[in-house]
């Protein structure tokens, strides 16, 4: 039996199975992925491995012959591969292949689908709660448009007509700005690839979307942004996570208080903080808030999936999510991501 804490895994096969496995295994602490092999160096898992700085090769024998490896996971689905491994692997190396690999593949795929569904349910629920706010925000400029249009009907002075028309254009622009932000948010995530993401910009986008969720009343927003807070991330997932955290903060303050959004660049990490001066989280809830379906909100206001998804997104970005809270004073959520390495020339 392989001891997990010293497991060094090599993945053979860079297709969808390889990608899902890579995503899953790279989150397991104390497990090292030594490398991944596929004949096709443009296969999806090979691209993903490069993002993760994991060794890639088109020669299976490179990995099978690597003496550090003690577990080979074969998701090539190629019967020839089984024979090849059997003939070339070192003595202490275990192989997960054939039906066992297929089962693992199925489980991983099932888990990934479930995760995607929970993510989507949470998003739909979020959209549901934004609708009232959005209707309100769109109705305001529409009323203005109506007023100015009626004014134009009765107006003879070309200068005033011009002024009204300008107001109408501004109001329509404001409305379409709201719609643009929303279509970006409501789109179902398809190919959300890892790209360079400016965290300050993402916080701004998230704030725009989340503020539809509740009435802002006496809320002040403080921004403490580091000048160059850029990480490699899947932009849509990250946006959803930030919307969740900001919406939670606004809800906790019931429209009154200070929301502080911050980014910080440190030697090895880049962090984002979302702080509120809201109700705070009791100690005995702190462990539970990241569980799926844990909520203290009445039905219709919360699904309990927000923080569960935020945690999953942060971990898929190799980051850490932490919380600091005091009842009656407020809460700070911190997302800490590894500092991206300088771009290197790839072959
Ligand atoms: N900023 C916050 N301040 C106080 N409590 C919070 C905050 N964020 C989350 N919580 C608590 O954690 C619970 C779970 O949050 P979440 O997973 O986003 O689900 P939901 O918002 O749907 O309830 C909330 O119901 C609330 O009790
Ligand atoms: Mg929430």
Q: What is the pLDDT of residues 203-241, one digit of tens each?
A: 998 998 887 766 666 789 999 999 999 999 988 889 989
Asked whether the predicted pLDDT for residue 128 surpasses 80, the reply is no
Q: What span, in angstroms and rounded, lies between the C-alpha atoms of 65 and 89?
A: 6
Architecture of domain 122-186: Orthogonal Bundle (1.10)
State residue 345's pLDDT score. Answer: 41
Q: What span, in angstroms and rounded, lies between the C-alpha atoms of 239 and 233?
A: 10
State the sign of the Cα–Cα–Cα–Cα dihedral 277, 283, 287, 289: negative
Helix (H, G, I), strand (E, B) or coil at 329: coil
State residue 2's pLDDT score. Answer: 47
Q: How far is CA 279 from the centre of its chain?
A: 26
Which residue in the block uniquely carries the two structure tokens 């990250």? 238
State residue 177's pLDDT score. Answer: 75
Asked whether the predicted pLDDT for residue 338 surpasses 60, the reply is yes
Q: For residue 75, give the nearest of 111, 109, 115 by alpha carbon.
A: 109
State residue 300's pLDDT score. Answer: 75
From ligand 2's centre to the CA of 313, what distance in Å? Answer: 14
Q: What span, in angstroms and rounded, lies between the C-alpha atoms of 287 and 86?
A: 46
Contact residues for 228 (Cβ-Cβ < 8 A; gap 6+): 265
Q: What span, in angstroms and rounded, lies between the C-alpha atoms of 337 and 308?
A: 18
Q: What span, in angstroms and rounded, lies between the C-alpha atoms of 212 and 137?
A: 8
Tokens of 89: 């692997």
Contact residues for 111 (Cβ-Cβ < 8 A; gap 6+): 24
Given ligand 1 and candidates 125, 126, 214, 248, which is best to mutate, with the most ligand atoms within 8 Å of its CB? 248
- Under the banding of pLDDT at 50, 70 and 90, the label for residue 191 is low
Where do the structural domains in the chain lie, given as residue ranges? 4-96, 122-186, 195-338
Tokens of 291: 């569980």
Asked whether the predicted pLDDT for residue 326 surpasses 80, the reply is yes
By the 8 A CB rule, do 69 and 8 touch?
yes
Q: What is the pLDDT of residues 258-274, one digit of tens each?
A: 999 999 999 889 999 99
From ligand 2's centre to the CA of 296, what distance in Å? Answer: 10
Average pLDDT, the chain: 86
State residue 346's pLDDT score. Answer: 41
State residue 256's pLDDT score. Answer: 87
Buried b (16+ CB within 10 A) or exposed e, 130-143: beebbeeebeebee
Backbone angles phi, psi at 93, to 5 degrees: -95, 125
Q: What is the pLDDT of residues 280-322, one digit of tens each?
A: 999 999 989 999 889 999 887 788 999 999 998 998 888 999 9
Q: For residue 107, give the nearest of 20, 5, 1, 191 by alpha carbon.
A: 20
Most confident region among 62-71, 74-83, 257-266 by mean pLDDT: 257-266
From ligand 2's centre to the CA of 248, what distance in Å? Answer: 5
Tokens of 35: 């490398």
H or E segment at 255? none
Count of CA atoms in the C-beta half-sphere (13 A) of 108:
19
Q: Determine the topology of domain 4-96 in CATH.
A: Rossmann fold (3.40.50)
Q: How far is CA 158 from CA 145, 151, 153, 164, 299, in A?
A: 18, 12, 12, 10, 54
Tokens of 244: 């969740």
Percentage of residues in the chain having pLDDT higher than 90: 45
- Under the banding of pLDDT at 50, 70 and 90, the label for residue 42 is very high
State residue 180's pLDDT score. Answer: 72
Q: What span, in angstroms and rounded, lies between the C-alpha atoms of 245 and 333?
A: 8
Backbone angles phi, psi at 170, to 5 degrees: -60, -45
Asked whether the predicted pLDDT for residue 347 surpasses 60, the reply is no
**Can you tell me the mean pLDDT for 106-121?**
84
For ligand 1, atom 11: residue with the closest CA? 289
Which residues is 73 bridged to in the sheet? 11, 96
Please determine, looking at this structure, whether the domain spanning 195-338 carries the CATH number 3.30.565.10.
Answer: yes
State residue 311's pLDDT score. Answer: 93
Asked whether the predicted pLDDT for residue 163 surpasses 80, the reply is yes
Domains 4-96 and 195-338 share a fold: no
Which residue in the block uniquely carries the two structure tokens 């090849």? 84
**Terminal CA-to-CA distance of the chain, rounded, Å?**
38
Closest ligand 1 atom, residue 308 Cα? 17
Percentage of residues in the chain having pLDDT higher than 70: 91
Q: What span, in angstroms and rounded, lies between the C-alpha atoms of 315 and 320?
A: 6
Q: How far is CA 28 from CA 19, 21, 75, 316, in A?
A: 15, 11, 19, 11
**Can you tell me the mean pLDDT for 88-99?**
86
Q: What span, in angstroms and rounded, lies between the C-alpha atoms of 244 and 274?
A: 11
Q: Decide which of 130 and 286 is more confident.
A: 286
Q: For residue 36, give the nearest of 45, 27, 28, 25 by alpha carbon.
A: 45
Which residues line ligand 1 at a C-beta cut-off of 6 Å? 244, 248-249, 252, 276, 278-281, 289, 294-297, 302-304, 306-308, 331
Asked whether the predicted pLDDT for residue 344 surpasses 70, the reply is no
State residue 37's pLDDT score. Answer: 94
Question: From the CA of 290, which ligand is nearest?
Answer: 1
């Amino acid at each position: 039996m392989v001891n997990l804490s010293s497991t060094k895994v090599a993945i053979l096969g860079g297709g969808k199975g390889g990608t899902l496995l890579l995503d899953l295994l790279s989150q397991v602490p104390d497990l090292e992925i030594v490398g991944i092999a596929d004949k096709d160096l443009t296969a999806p898992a090979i691209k993903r491995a490069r993002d993760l700085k994991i060794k890639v090769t088109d020669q299976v024998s490179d990995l099978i012959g690597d003496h550090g490896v003690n577990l080979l996971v074969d998701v090539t689905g190629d019967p020839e591969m089984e024979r090849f491994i059997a003939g070339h692997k070192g003595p202490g190396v275990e192989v997960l292949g054939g039906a066992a690999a297929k089962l693992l593949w199925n489980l991983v795929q099932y888990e990934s689908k479930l995760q995607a569904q929970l993510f989507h349910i949470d998003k739909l629920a979020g959209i549901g709660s934004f609708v009232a706010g959005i209707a309100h925000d769109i109705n305001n400029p529409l009323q203005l448009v109506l007023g100015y249009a009626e004014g134009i009907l009765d107006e003879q002075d070309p200068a005033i007509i011009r002024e009204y028309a300008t107001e109408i254009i501004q109001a329509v622009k404001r409305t379409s700005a709201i719609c643009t932000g929303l279509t970006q948010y409501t789109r179902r995530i398809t190919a959300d690839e890892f790209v360079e993401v400016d965290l300050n910009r993402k916080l701004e986008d998230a704030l725009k979307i989340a503020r539809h969720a509740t009435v802002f009343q006496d809320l002040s927003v403080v921004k403490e942004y580091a000048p160059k807070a850029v990480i490699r991330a899947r932009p849509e997932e990250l946006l959803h996570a930030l919307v969740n955290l900001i919406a939670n903060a606004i809800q906790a303050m019931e429209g009154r208080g200070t929301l502080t959004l911050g980014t910080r660049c440190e030697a090895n990490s880049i962090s984002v903080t979302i702080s509120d001066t809201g109700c705070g989280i009791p100690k005995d809830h702190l462990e539970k808030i990241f569980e799926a379906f844990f909520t203290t909100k009445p039905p219709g206001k919360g699904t309990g999936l927000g923080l569960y998804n935020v945690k999953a997104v942060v971990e898929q970005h190799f980051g850490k999510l932490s919380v600091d809270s005091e009842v009656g004073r407020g809460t700070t959520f911190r997302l800490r991501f590894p500092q991206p390495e300088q771009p290197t020339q790839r072959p």
